[in-house]
Structure 1
Amino acid sequence: MASPPLALLVSERGTRRLAAVDDRARALGLFAGQKAADALALVPDLATFDHDPAADRAALEALCDWCVRFSPAVAIDGEDGLLLDITGTDHLWGGEGAMLVDLVARLARWGVPARAAIADTAGAAWGLARFGEDLAVVPSGGQRQALADLPVAALRLDEAAEAQLPRLGLHRVGQLYGLPRAQLAKRFGLGFTTRLDQALGAAAEALTFRRPASPWFDRLAFFEPISAPEDMARVAADALALICARLEAEERGAKRFEVVLHRLDGQAFPVRAGLARLGRDAKRLAKLVVPKLDKVDPGFGIEVVTVHAAGVEPLAAVQNGLDSTAGAGLDETLAPLIDRLVNRLGEARVWRADPYESHVPERSVVRAAPLDPPPAAAWDPDRPRPVRLFKRPEAITALAKVPDDPPVFFTWRGRSHRVRRAEGPERIAQEWWRAGVAEGETGPGKVRDYYRVEDEAGGRYWIFRQGLFGGEDAPKWWIHGLFG
């Protein structure tokens, strides 16, 4: 039994209207914007459901991610379309025509009917896909002729221009070619001539891709789907070898790699690997990617694997010595270990402490990538800082002979310490050039006098007295770090 015609409903100012209709409902005279009561009177067996724009958008975004197997540059077009930049990728399918047929056939297989076109410009492809043949491939430079017989609505015009042009007898795009451009711009606005130029290739058009467009993309497709763990590991290594070979040929390296396994049902499983330094060693990358494949559910099989490289920069070849180690510094030796730690623990958990030019102790250290170049700034050797600086100073009780002297005795975490030696004070006040002062840092009226002290057991501490005697608040003692 054939399924009934279908329509989606939306409420507008208390009235239920049709938001969208399928082909069967359209053939029976129903249209978007029609009152639901009128539609049901014409077609009693009309099946209706509430329109859910958020779900439609989520489905379109999922479809956009699925299309990455055809091109790394995919943009969402309105509420029902996608634009793919297939420059440099169509040869993987044996040409533009074969690629277009494969794309539409895969969509139809999963219940997504689509019309598609390939042209030099996004505007021409948009118009041909919606108003031309079901599948259209325009030869390079042929968009002018291909668009000539299409209605003016194929130019993506605004509603006013699209409604006014037919009243003037201008029904086809080709009728606009010979008209004076200045008069068209004056009558319909610059947006009209811009759309015409974009479709014909006389004006550039910027597209917002869901993922940043990158030429560093490659793809592997299989005659039969794969699902065995060893097969997935092998094809992931093969895909990395492809992109690394391209990087080596152009003397470049990358810091981030992504291998995406595309399942038969359209689900995509990205597996990412990052490097501490620029690299293009496929074997080393495979060791980082393969352990993460155990989280990939192959389902009924993986049919396509794509690989992307990001953070690509020039990378010159390095000449090793006869023992294969000469010329390799400490950083090169540590790089594989750091890569494994970063990919296992996360980039935010593997870092190096670097000095930062600031008088405030809490701001004198910043986190940096483990193998980043060392900063030019350094701590003043005459003002040493503790090996371990606490995230927040801890309160202590201390006893000093006179108010400005270092303490002779202090208690920290319930344990008493008698001071044997002390150096200081080093006075640290606010950084007046900063607009604001964070909580816990030195601020107005929060002058600190720091002392380096050593107790009778040999422990060395960095303690300070906050506040001045005779001020608004009584001075308090704190411990801020340990010297080893």
Structure 2
Amino acid sequence: MPRVVSLCLLRWSTDRLRRKSGDASPPPEAPLVLVGRTGRRRTVTALDANAQALGVAIGMAVAKAQALVPGLIVIDADPAADLAGLDKLALWALQRISPVVAADPPDGLVIDTTGADHLHGGETMMLDAIVRKFAASGVEARAAIADTWGAAHAAARFLRRQTLVIPTGQGTVMLRPLPPAALRLDGQTVAGLRTLGFETIGDLMDQPRAPLALRFGPEIGRRLDQALGLVAEPVDPIRPPELVEVRRIFGEPIGAADTIARYTGKLVDALCLELEQRGLGARRLDLLFHRVDNSMQFIRVGMAQPVRDAKRLTRLLRDKIDTIDPGFGIEIMVLVAIETEPLRDRQTISSLVEPADLDVSNLVDVLANRVGSNRLYRFIPVQSDVPERSVARVPALSPETGATWEGDWPRPPRLLARPEPVETMALLPDHPPIWFTWRGIRRRVRRADGPERIRGEWWKRDAEMTTVRDYFRVEDDAGERYWLFRSGDGEHEDSGSQKWFLHGIFA
């Protein structure tokens, strides 16, 4: 079942203007409107939240808006720049979310995420991440996902939820109470339907189609069928000219997995030739399948380093062919290098001269495309006395920084994500615990070493000015070794809670 995300940028025109202007943009608290011409009148075409809160509305005459809000900032609208900005956002989403992305003027994007949500932790986490990223860039957004473009578009703009997941098969129920304007009908048609007493989409669903088509034309029926999934509405993905792309059009549709795999190899060979001519290597590939029912399937693979090895790329793509549903047949296959980097041919060094460097990038690529690149990483040292801040996650093949941990005290190979509280008995202030209870099991301490005192990083937070931790390495009766600490120095109340925690486990 297809799944489509509609992204609504609530105040795209004003948000884009503030982002573009940078330090020269109007103050965030200043009311801002963009104006255009309606006939001979200058009217408000876009406004920010400040202007709306003061009573300004879209379509209001500029003179009236200025009289209503003294100090109102008025700037001419630039629809062409708004559209160009949407195309740039579509390219961003193309590289990070899904291969099938298009601008949805005047205020949104549409993204076909069929089969791609698991790469982002599921649909809910994917929508939350998208909205957060836009908010961090100063763009207010809503996102909804449904089975069809029409249903997702309506949910994002008329249900007033920041993120909303419409379960599969529930689009009809969601659409019924919404107004006809949610079907992306023109203003004249919406006004005509309102005059006739149609208040909701449900009213239109229950009405015979022939009288509506006779009065308003076929648009209402077409939009209804698209929103309900009765008529396909494929997303035409944005494709900038600088992308490296090859395609194969079939005289007869194909569907067998072996046939798809064979043509995948041919497309990869053609793509690698094009990449070689440009001196590039691929970091991310999208293989798109256009089916005869006017729908689309796709495969996306990523590489940790730029690659131009046809056999290696073919293998990564073929590993995912079983996720493709050819339906009644595939008529076009398109292979696109979404991300590329310069790549120079390296001279192979004979093993008689010196041993070749071990290359694990192929293994990393295979694992990353099977389990997700966000689940494959390694740790690097970070200069910090606080244990949980002394490591950072980086991509598996990130270059070495040369950083190391300083100090003579050993650290456990397994550090808990968060220190877990334990019950203990210990003599204060410098003695280790006699026993401790962790996760319901009581353990008697046979040996201990410590304390190692770690102070808070006062230059980061004032609250850490006086806080300390006293760490102990302890061994229980079973020979298991743990890393415990007391929050506080055991004497002063402002140094910590004086409670005990388990923070790590030694091998």
TM-score range, shorter chain: 0.5 to 0.7
1:233 aligns with 2:261: yes
Post-superposition CA distance 1:162-210 (Å, at most 9, x none): xxxxxxxxxxxxxxxxxxxxxxxxxxxxxxxxxxxxxxxxxxxxxxxxx
Deviations 1:123-154 (A, max 9, x none): xxxxxxxxxxxxxxxxxxxxxxxxxxxxxxxx
Q: Does residue 220 of the first structure (1) align with residue 242 of the second (2)?
A: no
Which of 404, 423, 434 is the equivalent residue of 1:378?
404
User: Is residue 339 of structure 1 aligned with residue 365 of structure 2?
Assistant: yes
Aligned length: 307
In structure 2, which of residues 290, 293, 302 is the aligned counterpart of residue 274 of structure 1? 302
- In the TM superposition, residue 44 of structure 1 has moved relative to its aligned partner by 7.1
Q: CA RMSD for the aligned pairs? A: 4.0
| Percent of residue pairs bearing the same amino acid type | 37
Q: Given that residues 430 and 451 in structure 2 are in contact (C-alpha distance below 8 angstroms), is that contact kept between their aligned partners in structure 1?
A: no
Deviation of 1:328 after TM superposition, in Å, equals 3.7
Aligned match of 2:148: none
2:501 to 474, 478, 484: 478
Superposition pairs for residues 356-375 of structure 1, below 5 Å?
Answer: 356-375=382-401
Whether the aligned pair in 1 keeps the contact of 2:232 and 2:295 (CA below 8 Å) is no
Which segment drifts farther, 472-481 or 317-326? Answer: 317-326
TM-score (norm 1): 0.55
TM-score where L is the length of structure 2: 0.52
1:312 aligns to what SS in structure 2? strand
Which residue of structure 1 aligns with residue 29 of structure 2?
none
CA contact (8 A) 2:386 2:454 kept: no
Instruction: Quote how far apart the aligned CAs of 1:338 are.
Output: 1.6
SS in 1 for 2:403: coil
Q: 1:417 aligns with which of 431, 438, 444?
A: 444
Matched residue, 2:239: 72
Query: Do 1:465 and 1:477's aligned partners in 2 also have CA atoms closer than 8 Å?
Result: yes
Do structure 1's residue 312 and structure 2's residue 361 form an aligned pair? no
* In structure 2, distance between residues paired with 1:359 and 1:54: 61
2: CA distance, partners of 1:460 / 1:480: 12
Separation (CA, whole Å) in 2 of partners of 1:48 and 1:62: 14
Secondary structure of 2:262's match? helix
Q: CA deviation at 1:386?
A: 1.5
SS at match of 1:357: coil
- Residue 463 of structure 1 aligns to a residue whose secondary structure is strand
Contact 2:247 2:333 (C-alpha < 8 Å) held by counterparts: yes
Match in the other structure for 1:438: none
Whether the 8 Å CA contact 1:354–1:365 is kept in 2: the answer is yes
CA distance in 1, matches of 2:438, 2:353: 50
Give SS of 1:358's match.
coil
**How far is the alpha carbon of 1:228 from its aligned partner?**
1.6
Matched residue, 1:439? none
Deviation at 1:52, TM superposition (A): 5.6
1:423 shift after superposition: 2.7
Higher RCO (Cα < 8 Å, 6 or more apart)? 2
2:373 maps to amino acid: E
Correspondence for 1:451: 472
How far apart, in 2, do the equivalents of 1:48 and 1:256 lie? Answer: 39
1:252 aligns with 2:252: no
Instruction: List gaps (5 residues or longer) in structure 2.
Output: 1-184, 199-210
Counterpart in the other structure of 1:283: 311
SS of alignment partner, residue 311 of structure 1:
strand
8 A Cα contact 2:448 2:472, kept in partner: no
The residue number in structure 2 matching 1:26 is none
The amino acid of 1:215's aligned partner reads L
Letter of the structure 1 residue corresponding to residue 493 of structure 2: G
Amino acid across the alignment from 2:500 = W
AA partner of residue 471 (structure 1): E
The aligned counterpart of 2:425 is 399
Deviations 1:29-60 (A, max 9, x none): xxxxxxxxxxx9xx77977848969968x999
Report which stretch shifted further, 47-56 or 472-481. 47-56
What per-residue deviation string (whole Å, max 9, x for no partner) do you get for residues 57-111 of structure 1? x99995442xx5xx823xxxxxxxxxxxxx6xxxxxxxxxxxxxxxxxxxxxxxx
Residue 329 of structure 1 pairs with residue 351 of structure 2? no
For residue 476 of structure 1, report the CA deviation from its aligned partner: 0.9
Instruction: Report the alpha carbon displacement of residue 323 of structure 1 after superposing the two structures with TM.
Output: 5.7
Q: Deviation at 1:322?
A: 4.3
SS in 2 for 1:396: strand
Q: Retained in 2: the 8 A contact 1:350–1:369?
A: yes
Alpha-carbon distance between aligned partners in 2 of 1:235 and 1:452, rounded to the nearest angstrom? 60
Q: Distance in 2 between matches of 1:49 and 1:61?
A: 15
Q: Which consecutive residues of structure 1, in runs of 5 or more, have no partner in the other structure?
A: 1-5, 19-39, 74-86, 88-213, 436-441
**Which protein has the larger Cα radius of gyration, Structure 1 or Structure 2?**
1
For residues 264 and 359 of structure 1, the distance between their equivalents in structure 2, rounded to whole angstroms, comes to: 61
Alpha carbons of structure 1 residues 327 and 222: separation in structure 2 relative to 1, 3 Å: farther
Matching residue's letter, 1:425: E
Q: Is the 8 A contact 1:354 1:366 kept in 2?
A: yes
Render the CA deviation track for 1:396-442: whole Å, top value 9, x for unaligned.
2333334233334434341323242403322231444259xxxxxx8
